[in-house]
Amino acid sequence: MKIILASQSPRRRELLERMGLEHFEIQPAVGEEHASPHLSPAQLVEELSRQKAQEVALTAAAEDIVIAADTVVAADNRVLGKPHNREDAMDMLRFLSGRTHTVYTGVTVRQGEQVLTQHEATDVIFRPLTDREIAAYVDTAEPMDKAGAYGIQGRGCVLVEGIRGDYYNVMGLPVCRLALMLRQFGVDPLVQE
């Protein structure tokens, strides 16, 4: 049995390692995910993580465990994924400035036909940002591969006044929830044989 992370995210890889799962393979999903625009943010991330896990499971052995995740940022009925370009990143950060938003991550664990999908939601409070601060932060290029155009674990930490919920969820992988999910597949990151 192998554990396969269906993501190329260095943050998700790092978080699996922090959990104590040192022996896993990386096999990112490469297909285009599709979801109804009528889904709530929680339903959206669950559906997208399910699709990623399903794609990677097609080439995995039946006993392999596939872990997939998808993260979005949402506020005022607007869902933010990764920015497409510099201006998009600036617009996202202006929108989030001085307000509370919610980070949703859907996680799917799949082994053969056994599939478990859940999500985590964490509220993040941004301080008010000036256009100069937003431009300087975007110029670091850090926002370009992150939902909501910021990384709480990097320089984006100075944008955040506080959070309510799982910090690791904001990084892109709710590790406590994932650990509990993995236990249902016979894998306990704390008690490894």
Q: Rounded CA gap, 80 and 143, in Å?
A: 12
Q: Which of 64, 70, 91, 188 is catalytic?
A: 70
Q: How many domains does the chain have?
A: 1
Q: What local confidence, expressed as pLDDT, does residue 192 receive?
A: 67
Q: Rounded CA gap, 11 and 69, in Å?
A: 12
Q: Rounded CA gap, 124 and 146, in Å?
A: 15
Is the residue at 87 inside a domain? yes
Q: What local confidence, expressed as pLDDT, does residue 33 receive?
A: 76
Is the residue at 188 inside a domain? no
Q: Name the phi and psi angles at 57, rounded to 5.
A: -65, -25
Task: Work out the angle between the directed axes of helices 86-96 and 131-139 (0-180°, nearest 10).
Answer: 140
Work out the average pLDDT over 116-129.
98
Domain that holds residue 37: 3-183
Q: What local confidence, expressed as pLDDT, does residue 104 receive?
A: 97
Is the residue at 121 inside a domain? yes
Is the residue at 189 inside a domain? no
Residue 32 has pLDDT above 90, yes or no: no
0.85 cut: is pTM over it? yes
Q: What local confidence, expressed as pLDDT, does residue 193 receive?
A: 58
Work out the average pLDDT over 29-50.
89
Q: What local confidence, expressed as pLDDT, does residue 159 receive?
A: 97
Is the residue at 19 inside a domain? yes
Is the residue at 46 inside a domain? yes
- Please write the tens of the pLDDT for every residue from 146-192: 999 999 999 999 999 999 999 999 999 999 999 999 999 999 988 86
CATH number at residue 64: 3.90.950.10
Q: Is 20 left (phi over 0), alpha (psi -120 to 50) or beta?
A: left
Is the residue at 191 inside a domain? no
Q: Rounded CA gap, 175 and 191, in Å?
A: 15
Catalytic site residue 70?
Answer: yes
Q: Average pLDDT of the chain?
A: 94
